[in-house]
Structure 1
């Protein structure tokens, strides 16, 4: 029966929970064995805690939906227990106890193995650490450039090293310094060097010396690399981080410079072949090769070529790779994250990726020319660098090195070396440019980016991201592990109770306030909607919460309304960390509200007679005007096929089982798109391999779901009518089962694929892909017929 199928599905779900618990335990062991600086450890810990909370809420939410028909008293309970000398309220309390027990068992099954690992990993020793508050300062009136120094000195906490800030707004500039730094102090600017290398590329393209689509191989020394059979890396690929090259060579070391000879040897081993549809992958190696290719074409060293073609024409007096003695005297000493002095090392072959020194004043001049290219001696080359050419992630795109935010319209680039941090941004729509230089190596939560955002928001009069820092107490030892064990279980039980109670409240109140017939028809669609909601929120929000997500969760964005982030705040409050108090308050309010609404639903169900509460037949009456279906051959074939279609259309439990499998398929597809960055562009705009690859498992999930729901074509166990009606065995029954299976499993795939792809793709390609999907679906259907009598 359908009810038996639901019970079997729940048993499979329980087994799956234990398996997931084993996987979670493996992740916990990985976290426990990792060694990072204190800030990175805490940030990674918060991300892991959010992942555990979000996963628990997803699992409990899906369980609540699957047990939808068993959470409130119904007529079956009354019929079984009415002849017994049991009071109605006793039966009612027993039902509530059963629901609570099922919730507890779900959470325990999910964490039965992981609880042996995670509290120890989360409670590992961490020294007392200063961390950014990840909150916002109150909004104030827009700050002028004249008032900015006083505002920043008030907002900026100590302990962030020596800093120089430059701001250019509507032609006026302001250069500020903090700590031991001076306005003309010189800093390493790290990867901001890449924007200079990109401008050098644009200059040489303008001069006709190279082409953007020119293969890298043609500019390297002869016989350095072999020509690949298919696609190969071009200069444009290098300048937009779409070459597929790694961030750094696998044999690079921080202790010694990586020479040009080593670069050529690495490329000789790995080649210059490029895969089709290569996505954005930030690569210092790529820009090192770009600079090498340009200096090979010009036949002079990169530093000299950059000085002649870019730095000197732009009038940048304190920007260089090789400093004079006067400039060396103005270099601010750099420090690592533990405040230890670091000797400025050489970059070797990676000079084009991060070897420039500069001042805030020079960089403001550079950004002023980016804002107003006509002021520069080569405006076309500057505009060429800002021309957006490829996708990055989210709403971000990239030109030649410059990264563009599609939401606020800014171009920006950051830089980091072993002992310096830097960030520059300019906004053509606001005629605004900002430079922040710091003599500390950025780790987690880069201060230079936070400072830049703070200045932008102060100038605009918005609530500004806080520059304040909070002290995280030292942790470690047996007491810390014991406390974390308690916090771990309290938080996960609270999060699971919230999501379970929310589902109960929606179901119970809907049953009480909707007319019975209306609720019966709406009920299954509520389940499907909750399936989609839980999976969409889980996959679309950052699962491993990073710094931007944690900031966004406290700044009135959509993430601030994500319950999983609320309970992350609650976990920090319970563990004694002074972070996310606003989210913790929301968790408490949300949990109290969910419990109150659930209590109201159960109270109403008791007061309005147990016999009438959420009593749902499996198959609801059909609508007469929509009852027609075509013939599918003879009487037997038509009976089997029509009954299967009508059961799917009218049976709530069949649709729930179907939705469960389809949701899993959609989850895999969405996760695939997120990992390949396909979700960040119009994936239907043109044929592409990732979309084609993703559509196949989704189709397989649909076919498998139909097979499980109806037990077709082997036993028809969900169609109880055919279990009590004698059916002739042999070829006719096999044909009937095949037709029902093809109509329900294969035909929808073909029709939906044809309608979707035909609207976007060229008809020949769309037809070919639909034909492939139909062939695969038909093959699966035929395989399922194996052994049928």
Structure 2
């Protein structure tokens, strides 16, 4: 039995029969294993939505931009984006640690309608280009700066970094993350028409195909796509600290419970291990990417479903650590 088949059997048992389509990557001291189940002819190169794991990518891009001298450590949003005065003074570092006081979502009278359409028919609730996103910020004011998860915060962080580099966010992912690491399947579609052949379709809990989350505004907070093959390379680079912007992985502030946060990435106890991780969810995918640096192992698991993969991924990571 091949290593890849062994991995898929193990993951299938952990996920259960309700997950019919998924991709998985495992990095360990002995090497990497990848597999894709139900992903079509593209197999381990079939791309899937990473959802909020994209925030971790954005955190790396932010730290990389600081290292390049494009963004100051104490930069504020107003240095790079034209925003209402109430938002211009927010530090990028606060966005990266979810301590900006920004709400989870941008404003707009149609927020509830969009949420209903997502749950009712699977329509993508994030439809704006960047000017459209910025236009929804009138009346948004920061609240308390205790840790509070914000999609809006990471949308603005990513677009601020892109503005500082004079490069669209999608191109920034391509040139500064995918290119240096040799990730051939990792990209950011800014419309459904940009999905590549072999892209896995998103599906809701009932198994029905829904709209992909592919547009400019949401890209830094949830728009990156990747494959099992590429995720294995990313995990290795995270473990080896050769990923651009690796400093994003280092926890710098408290988040919730025993968790601490770096630039998007959380670090804390999972199944009695210390894991650096992020998960994600879109209208038709659930994802988890995490590394256990103490044992030199990492796991990425993405399913075309709205059923969580967190528990299965954490157990797979723990079992991999037990074997080292």
- Per-residue CA deviations over 1:31-88 (Å, capped at 9, x if unaligned) read xxxxxxxxxxxxxxxxxxxxxxxxxxxxxxxxxxxxxxxxxxxxxxxxxxxxxxxxxx
- Per-residue CA deviations over 1:148-202 (Å, capped at 9, x if unaligned) read 4444455553232201111111041111233355222211111111111111111
The correspondence of residues 275-354 of structure 1 with structure 2, limited to 5 A, is 275=144, 278-322=145-189, 328-354=196-222
Q: 1:461 to 1:200 in 2, by over 3 A?
A: closer
- Per-residue CA deviations over 1:114-170 (Å, capped at 9, x if unaligned) read xxxxxxxxxxxxxxxxxxxxxxxxxxxxxx988544444555532322011111110
The correspondence of residues 122-141 of structure 1 with structure 2, limited to 5 A, is none
Pairwise CA distance, 1:461 = 5.6
Please say if 1:177 is aligned against 2:36. Answer: yes
Q: Within 2, Cα distance between the matches of 1:180 and 1:313?
A: 26
2:129 to 234, 237, 259: 259
The alignment partner of 1:352 has SS state of: helix
Pairwise CA distance, 1:322 = 3.1
The correspondence of residues 351-750 of structure 1 with structure 2, limited to 5 A, is 351-373=219-241, 375-376=242-243, 378=244, 381-382=245-246, 384-406=247-269, 408-442=273-307, 446=308, 448-459=309-320
Cα pair 2:59 2:263 within 8 Å, conserved: yes
Please say if 1:235 is aligned against 2:92. Answer: yes
Cα pair 2:51 2:281 within 8 Å, conserved: yes
The correspondence of residues 77-156 of structure 1 with structure 2, limited to 5 A, is 147-154=6-13, 156=15
- Per-residue CA deviations over 1:229-275 (Å, capped at 9, x if unaligned) read xx94200010111111111123243446033223323334224x564
Q: Within 2, Cα distance between the matches of 1:310 and 1:460?
A: 27
Matched residue, 2:101: 244
Q: Within 2, Cα distance between the matches of 1:348 and 1:325?
A: 13
- Per-residue CA deviations over 1:607-647 (Å, capped at 9, x if unaligned) read xxxxxxxxxxxxxxxxxxxxxxxxxxxxxxxxxxxxxxxxx
Cα pair 1:347 1:354 within 8 Å, conserved: no
Q: Which has the higher strand share?
A: 2
Larger radius of gyration: 1
The correspondence of residues 738-777 of structure 1 with structure 2, limited to 5 A, is none
Q: 1:395 to 1:299 in 2, by over 3 A?
A: same
Matched residue, 2:53: 192
Aligned residue-pair number: 303
The alignment partner of 1:437 has SS state of: strand
Q: Which has the higher contact order (CA 8 A, sep 6+)?
A: 2
Stretches of structure 2 lacking an aligned partner (at least 5 in a row): 115-123
Q: 1:286 to 1:255 in 2, by over 3 A?
A: closer
Q: 1:286 to 1:152 in 2, by over 3 A?
A: closer
Q: Within 2, Cα distance between the matches of 1:259 and 1:250?
A: 15
Stretches of structure 1 lacking an aligned partner (at least 5 in a row): 1-143, 463-789
Aligned alpha-carbon RMSD (Å): 2.7
The alignment partner of 1:328 has SS state of: coil
The alignment partner of 2:218 has SS state of: helix
Q: 1:344 to 1:243 in 2, by over 3 A?
A: same
Q: Within 1, Cα distance between the matches of 2:176 and 2:194?
A: 23
Q: 1:458 to 1:145 in 2, by over 3 A?
A: farther
Q: Within 1, Cα distance between the matches of 2:15 and 2:105?
A: 34
Q: Which has the higher helix share?
A: 1
TM-score by length of 2: 0.84
Pairwise CA distance, 1:416 = 1.1
Q: Within 2, Cα distance between the matches of 1:177 and 1:260?
A: 34
Matched residue, 1:96: none
